[in-house]
């Protein structure tokens, strides 16, 4: 036993030594030993792990790579919602922000913590008793994706926090990014393998952390900075934001070296100006400054709105502008048959991103700008917003510059543009008699199909944009109906599909046949008919067959439907081709369930219910829909007015707040009986 204890001590000491050198190399850029000496230590560690199986390797430096690839990304539940920030664009916006704060609290002087807003990918790290447990993306703020296998490969992140003063459980938030120099170097090497280069560092990071194989993430130069807190199991663990950052640093977590405490909005503006001037010299992309009230007690007093904290704001940099030449204009067809002009530009770099295309929105905008092919134009880009042409430099215009004319016919199949209007969603590519992928019919069909399978429509999981493009281009799917006739053999020609992912997708397609009528109506993509209108139609008509014979007046009698929408509905459901398409879909075995008519007979009608944690038997979206059918208002935050809180595993602050307010808690295992008891 003594020998075993001695080996554990040697192993622990070796892990600490390697972690120390990792921190110096990756976080401080101040290595104390050579690469050869580091490799010798690492080989010694591997040898111990190979010889002694009783050693706990969960937080070993060797666990950063070599995990088996994930079959797919699991869900990650945020115990405290991961919200967005309100934006300030002008100085006045910051003064208004402070004024709103002073209206709610008694203090008339505040300290602010300022730091660069990194243009990366948001991430949450969970530590328990100082040990790294898992990591997840932002997602929708309540539910993201588990990317632990990839985050562990980022050597800046300690698998065990330094020191001893750690909460039992803490969620630390930050931003994964890639330095500009490392990104450029990687892109140059990547091009040598004949692969398409990455557009910008943020896209590169987003693609890297969502890989199923952690070896891919391990091979890429990802870095991280930690800047905020989600859930922590101890109240008042940090008294200020600055104290939190200093504690992070003591735990060997990387923070931004330019974070600074200031004492007024004037000093905030001075910080913003200095950072703007310094922006181009930084080795990472930023798109503004994050400003937070430093005092945590004031943060708690101010609280949150539904989408953002009331104690923080982001001062965004002014939209970057540049001038370039319009080389050509192409027209892209959307799912409703409308054409959108897109300008191909002479590449120009704005905010670290090379811009080569800009939307012109529609022909009214083209005429307003009086833009021509060959013109020099001023373009603007702010953050992730699609580049926009804001002005034509008419003083540089030449006589040979050509006017932009919207096509009247498809340049490929020669059909009039009006042919493509009203084809949603019954377009059958086999009837186009044209194999040219540039035909408007192909792009329209792809957009139709992407809308049809989307979450709020048929909710077919695993059928993403790239897969749809492949299936259409290879002729596997030529109509929406083909989607429900897919077999395993069809996936042999496709990239990225293994046995498990094929089975999962086919199961998801089959499950989508049993869906609400409202989701199916929304999936049809009829002009002016959104999800809420589809729900009203479902409540009114109950069955899709009842809609076939409806008149314009019948449609107008439905809540939220006016003359334009009713005309669109009547045109769609009186078209014999559409009726034939719908009959074929119904014959495939669809079970379209009518929307529940909200009635105060339900015991849950008008109740406010919150959901927290991971549910075992139903997804959040489906539970939310089920509750709304009974007239429930599903809320995202807990207050004294909340009637019930439904609790799954990994529930955090919402559960504690509900307990403190004596709100009735419905546990996951009791959910079915709770719903059944309250249906009538």
71 in a domain, yes or no?
no
CATH number of residue 12's parent domain: 1.10.287.610
- Angle at which helix 2-26 crosses helix 35-51, to 10 degrees, equals 150
Residues 303 and 324 in one domain: no
Comparison of pLDDT for 173 and 494, the residue scoring more: 173
Residue 381 has what pLDDT? 75
Q: Quick one: DSSP state of residue 318?
A: P
Q: Are 368 and 436 found together in one domain?
A: no
User: Does residue 494 sit within a domain?
Assistant: yes
Mean pLDDT is lowest, of 132-141, 154-163, 271-280, 649-658, for 649-658
DSSP, collapsed to helix, strand or coil, labels residue 341 as strand
The pLDDT, as a whole number, for residue 657 is 83
Does 391 lie in the same domain as 441? no
Chain segment 189-244, per-residue pLDDT in tens: 877 776 667 778 888 898 899 888 888 899 999 999 999 999 998 888 999 999 99
More confident residue, 550 or 32: 550
- Please state, in angstroms and rounded to a whole number, the distance separating the CA atoms of residues 370 and 400: 15
Alpha helices in 103-221 (DSSP H): 148-151, 180-191, 201-209, 214-218
Q: Has 223 been annotated as catalytic?
A: no
Q: 156 and 110: one domain?
A: yes
Between CA 174 and CA 181 the distance in angstroms is 21
pLDDT band at 129 (very low <50, low <70, confident <90, very high): very high
Q: How many domains does the chain have?
A: 6
Q: What is the pLDDT of residue 486?
A: 92
Q: For residue 118, what pLDDT is reported?
A: 93
The pTM (predicted TM-score) of the whole model is 0.61
Angle of the 576-587 helix axis to the 563-573 helix axis, nearest 10: 70
pLDDT tens digit sequence for 439-497: 888 888 998 899 999 888 898 887 888 889 889 888 899 889 999 999 988 887 787 77
Residue of 646, 613, 609 whose CA lies nearest to 76: 613
Task: Say whether both 495 and 519 belong to one domain.
Answer: no
Domain final residue pick, 479, 496, 512: 512
Pair (306, 365) in one structural domain: no
The CATH number for 396's domain is: 2.40.50.140
Residue 120 to residue 286: CA distance in whole angstroms: 8
Whether residue 405 has pLDDT greater than 60: yes
Angle at 62 between CA 56 and CA 64, to 5 degrees: 110
Residue pLDDT, tens place only, 56-69? 887 788 766 544 55
Cα separation of 101 and 528, whole Å?
Answer: 40
pLDDT for res 72: 66
Average pLDDT over residues 163-172: 92
User: Which CATH number is 184's domain given?
Assistant: 3.30.470.30
Q: Given 4, 74, 109, 117, which residue is catalytic? A: 117
Per residue in 245-264, is it b (16+ CB within 10 Å) or e — as a string?
Answer: bebbeebbbbbbeebbebee
What range does the domain containing 537 cover?
515-593
Whether 165 and 308 share a structural domain: yes
Q: From start to end of 576-660, where are the E strands?
A: 591-593, 608-612, 633-635, 644-647
Domain boundary at 593, 620, 648, which? 593
d(CA 290, CA 297): 19
Averaged confidence pLDDT in the chain: 86
Q: Among 290, 316, 342, give the residue marking a domain's end.
A: 316
pLDDT exceeds 70 at position 352: no
What are the φ and ψ backbone dihedral angles of 336, each rounded to 5 degrees? -95, 0
268's enclosing H/E stretch is helix 265-278
Instruction: Give a yes or no: residue 381 inside a domain.
Output: yes
Q: Is 76 exposed, middle or buried (0-12, 13-18, 19+ CB in 10 A)?
A: buried
The 10s digit of each residue's pLDDT in 510-529 is 999 998 899 999 999 888 88
User: Is 672 domain-assigned?
Assistant: yes
User: Is the pLDDT assigned to residue 22 strictly greater than 80?
Assistant: no
Give the start-end residues of each E strand in 296-386. 312-316, 320-333, 339-350, 353-359, 372-373, 376-381
Question: Is residue 496 assigned to a domain?
Answer: yes
Question: How far apart are alpha carbons 54 and 634 in whole angstroms?
Answer: 48
E-strand ranges in 405-530 read 514-516
Distance CA 132, CA 147 (A): 13
Strands 312-316 and 143-145: unpaired
CA atoms of 184 and 172, how far apart (whole Å): 29
- Whether residue 422 is predicted with pLDDT greater than 70 in this model: the reply is no
Q: Which two tokens stand for residue 70?
A: 């994930």
Does residue 75 form part of some domain? no
Radius of gyration of the chain (CA): 28
Looking at residue 674, its pLDDT comes to 85
Nearest to 459 by CA among 584, 622, 587: 622
Answer yes or no: do 149 and 36 share one domain: no
Mapped onto helix, strand or coil, the DSSP state of residue 416 is: strand
How confident is residue 140, by pLDDT bands cut at 50, 70 and 90?
A: confident
Q: Does residue 383 or residue 663 have the better pLDDT?
A: 663
Q: What is the per-residue burial (b if ≥16 Cβ within 10 Å, else e) of 417-439?
A: bebbebbbbbbbbeebebeeeeb
3-class secondary structure, 53: coil
Task: Assess if residue 6 is contained within a domain.
Answer: yes
In which band, very low, low, confident or very high, does the pLDDT at 40 lie, cut at 50, 70 and 90?
Answer: confident
- Whether 345 and 308 share a structural domain: no
Whether residue 507 sits in one domain with residue 644: no
* 78 belongs to a structural domain: no
Q: Which residues pair with 76 in a beta bridge?
A: 144
| One domain for residues 286 and 356 | no
Say whether both 200 and 107 belong to one domain: yes
User: How confident is the model at residue 1, as a pLDDT?
Assistant: 47
Domain containing residue 665: CATH number? 3.40.50.10190
CATH code (residue 471): 1.10.150.20
At 66 the pLDDT is: 44
């Amino acid at each position: 036993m003594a020998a075993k204890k001695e080996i554990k001590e040697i192993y622990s000491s070796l892990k600490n030594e390697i972690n120390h050198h990792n921190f110096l190399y990756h976080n401080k850029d101040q290595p104390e030993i050579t690469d050869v000496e580091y490799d010798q230590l690492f080989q010694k560690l591997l040898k111990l792990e190979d010889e002694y199986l009783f050693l706990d390797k969960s937080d070993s430096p060797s666990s950063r790579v070599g995990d088996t690839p994930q079959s797919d990304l699991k869900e990650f539940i945020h115990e405290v919602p991961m919200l967005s920030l309100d934006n300030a664009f002008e100085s006045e916006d910051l003064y208004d922000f402070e004024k709103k704060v002073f209206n709610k609290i008694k203090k008339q002087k505040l300290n602010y913590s300022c730091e660069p807003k990194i243009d990366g990918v948001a991430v949450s790290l969970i530590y328990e008793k100082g040990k790294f447990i898992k990591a997840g993306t932002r997602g929708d703020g309540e539910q993201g994706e588990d990317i632990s296998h990839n985050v562990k490969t980022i050597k800046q992140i300690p698998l065990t926090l330094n020191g001893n003063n750690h909460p039992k459980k803490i969620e630390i938030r930050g931003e994964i990014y890639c330095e500009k120099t490392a990104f450029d170097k990687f892109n140059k090497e990547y091009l040598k393998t004949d692969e398409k280069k990455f557009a910008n560092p943020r896209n590169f990071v987003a693609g890297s952390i969502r890989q199923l194989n952690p070896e891919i993430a391990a091979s890429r130069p990802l870095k991280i900075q930690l800047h905020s807190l989600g859930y922590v199991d101890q109240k008042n663990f940090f008294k200020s934001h600055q104290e939190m950052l200093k504690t992070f640093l003591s735990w060997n977590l990387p923070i931004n070296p330019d974070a600074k405490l200031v004492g007024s909005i004037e000093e905030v503006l001075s910080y913003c100006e200095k950072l703007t001037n310094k922006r181009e010299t930084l080795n990472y992309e930023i798109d503004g400054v994050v400003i937070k009230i430093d005092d945590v007690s004031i943060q708690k007093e101010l609280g949150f709105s539904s989408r953002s904290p009331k104690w923080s704001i982001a001062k965004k940099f002014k939209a970057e502008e540049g001038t370039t030449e319009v080389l050509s204009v192409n027209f892209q067809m959307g799912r409703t048959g409308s054409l959108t002009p897109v300008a191909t530009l002479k590449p120009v770099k704005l905010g670290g991103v090379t811009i080569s295309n800009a939307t012109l929105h529609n022909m009214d905008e083209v005429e307003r700008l009086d833009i021509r092919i060959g013109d020099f134009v001023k373009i603007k880009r702010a953050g992730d917003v699609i580049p926009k042409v804001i002005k034509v430099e008419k003083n540089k215009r030449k006589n040979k510059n050509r006017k932009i004319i919207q096509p009247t016919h498809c340049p490929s199949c020669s059909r009039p543009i009006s042919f493509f209007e009203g084809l949603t969603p019954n377009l059958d590519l086999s009837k186009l008699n044209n194999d040219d992928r540039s035909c408007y019919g192909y792009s329209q069909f792809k957009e139709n199909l992407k809308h049809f399978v989307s979450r709020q429509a048929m909710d077919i999981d695993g059928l993403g944009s790239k897969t749809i493009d492949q299936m259409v281009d290879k002729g596997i799917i030529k109509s929406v109906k083909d989607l429900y006739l897919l077999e395993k053999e069809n996936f042999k020609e496709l990239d990225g599909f293994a046995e498990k992912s094929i089975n999962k997708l086919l199961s998801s397609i089959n499950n989508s046949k049993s869906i609400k009528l409202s989701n199916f109506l929304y999936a049809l993509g009829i002009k002016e008919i959104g999800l809420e209108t589809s729900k009203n139609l479902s409540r009114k008509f109950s069955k899709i067959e009842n809609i076939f014979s409806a008149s314009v007046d019948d449609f107008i009698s439905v809540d939220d439907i006016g003359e334009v929408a009713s005309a669109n509905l009547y045109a769609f459901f009186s078209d014999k081709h559409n009726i034939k398409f719908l009959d074929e879909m119904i014959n495939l075995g669809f079970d379209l369930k009518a929307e529940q008519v909200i009635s105060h007979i339900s015991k849950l009608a008008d109740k406010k219910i919150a959901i927290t944690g991971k549910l075992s038997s139903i997804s959040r979206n489906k539970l939310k829909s089920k509750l709304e059918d009974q007239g429930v208002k599903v809320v995202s935050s807990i207050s004294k007015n909340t009637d019930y809180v439904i609790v799954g595993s990994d529930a955090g602050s919402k559960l504690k707040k509900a307990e403190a307010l004596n709100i009735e808690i419905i546990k996951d295992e009791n959910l079915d009986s709770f719903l059944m008891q309250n249906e009538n």
